[in-house]
Structure 1
Amino acid sequence: MLAGVPRTDRGRVIRQQIYTLEPTQTGDVIIDPFTVRFTTGRTGSEKAEQPAAEDSAAAEDSAAAEDSAADGRRSGADTEHNAETHVLETEPLQITVSGILGDAVPTLDDLRPAADPLEPPPLPSSGWTVALAALAVLAFVIAVVLKMRRQHVQEPQLSPQERALSELRSLMDSRLDDSDVKQFYVELTGIVRRYIERTTGIRAPEQTTEEILRETESRQLFDAADNERLTAFLESADLVKFAGFVPDTETIRTSTHRARTFL
């Protein structure tokens, strides 16, 4: 809403207000009626001035003029109570709201066709580029050939005895018996148990000493000397692993000799 500056026309004060409407849809729109309220009737001071002027021209003394002015003031006070309030209501106003495109119907006929795909930039044809590409291909071929050769090269197969003796040498080189004798005996008996499994098929690493000895004797897998040597080795190792026995250097040497002899 925009309020204009009041102006006067023939003794009347005119006030103007401008409303800007923003429609939310196109087509025919009806603006609801506006209601305007105003009051008619002159003020008491205006009514008092007219009788006072007429009586002052006809009166001959000041007493008559004062009485006439008093009557005019009383008449003006009565007129203020006679003011009337009026209500005017405008007629509904129908207008047509047009869209930005007017009556035109949107269409895709004016769209341009898709552009052609971009061509990749031409590859440089210098001699250096060709040489580098050839070197890259050659390096790839060499790498593939070397990989295939490594895959075809097989490690020499060690016998169960060779693997066991190799493991025993690694254990002795570690000097584990000087720092943790119990773990040393665990590793030492593990070498012998894996050797029995590889040579006989008995799942010795998962069995107890009694189960191993009972199965090897019942199946007669080793001769009497080996059975006796294996029994002494496993039983002495169990004392260290489970009974808390602490072997001396000579006992450790004896156990190692029994394991090597059995292998």
Structure 2
Amino acid sequence: MTMQKNYSVISACDNLLRKVLPILLVLALPWAAAGQSTPPTLTWSTDTTRIRIGEQIHLGLEVRAPKDALVDFPELRFQSDSMEVVGRSKIDTSYKRDEAIYRITYRLTSFEKGKYLVPAIEVKAGESILTTDPFQVQVSTVEVDTLRQARYGIKDIRTDRYTAGEVFRKYYWILIALAVAALLAWEIWRIVKRRRENRLPPEMLLSPYERAKFRLDRLDREKLLEKGQVKDFYIALTDVIRLYLDEQYGIPAPESTSDQTLRDVRKLPLTREQYGKLRDLLLDADLVKFAKMFPSAPENERYRQYTEELVESLRPAEAPQDTPQAQQQQQRKEEEKHVGD
């Protein structure tokens, strides 16, 4: 009886183990696969194996290895000078699950015609050494169609350029003529400039009284009041009297203030009325120039009349004899007197 019970238990356990064991094996497969790392792999490719002299070949390498594996790409060199490495790209790294992908591109070229063998390239990935296959490169020259090439006639022999000494010996007379012309032009310019500087304006040939009258006439012709240039009118009007005082009596009125000028003219033979007119003219002109005062039209005319009256009143008795016309008349009288004698 006891043996039958034990047999039943063993049979039940066996049946359970047969059902559960396959399930456990299926569940354990991913862990078993994860425990085994994928071995590194190397793939390579080229864009061409036929080039002309100076063109480039792009050789690409791709390594797939575990993330923790150290990948070392070599510094590619050739033993002979037939093929050259002109550059390489930076390593491009990407990841896919537990795998790292490394890519790099070498640029190769050649400057000699022929067939050359690119040897196998070794790449270290972890503990593994990966190699590429050697391949052959065909390098050709650029073909030139001499039959269709344009032909040109024989050119004359080109002479060397003249040196500075040769140019001088050949054209020295032209250089001397240019130098003389330059000196003459410079001297003429100096003479003309000196004459212009020494040339006096027509008004400077007149006496101070006549210059004052000339400036008043010029002021009337300019018609500054009609143009609305009141300030310029009073500046020119006071300049007439200031310049007349300076040129006729030596009073530095152009460089003096109105108060200084009024103080200096006290020594002149002016009546109280004439002095008052001069004071009103100078002080009101200062208000126009500096305080932007706008006198009325009658005031403008009155100050114009004041200026002319002041010039007439300050005219010296001998002033007419100072003019060139008076001097010429006096000279003619003296000549006639000598002839009569």
Q: Same fold (TM over 0.5)?
A: no
Higher strand share: 2
Normalised by the length of structure 2, the TM-score is 0.33
Normalised by the length of structure 1, the TM-score is 0.41
- The higher relative CO (CA closer than 8 Å, separation ≥ 6) is in 1
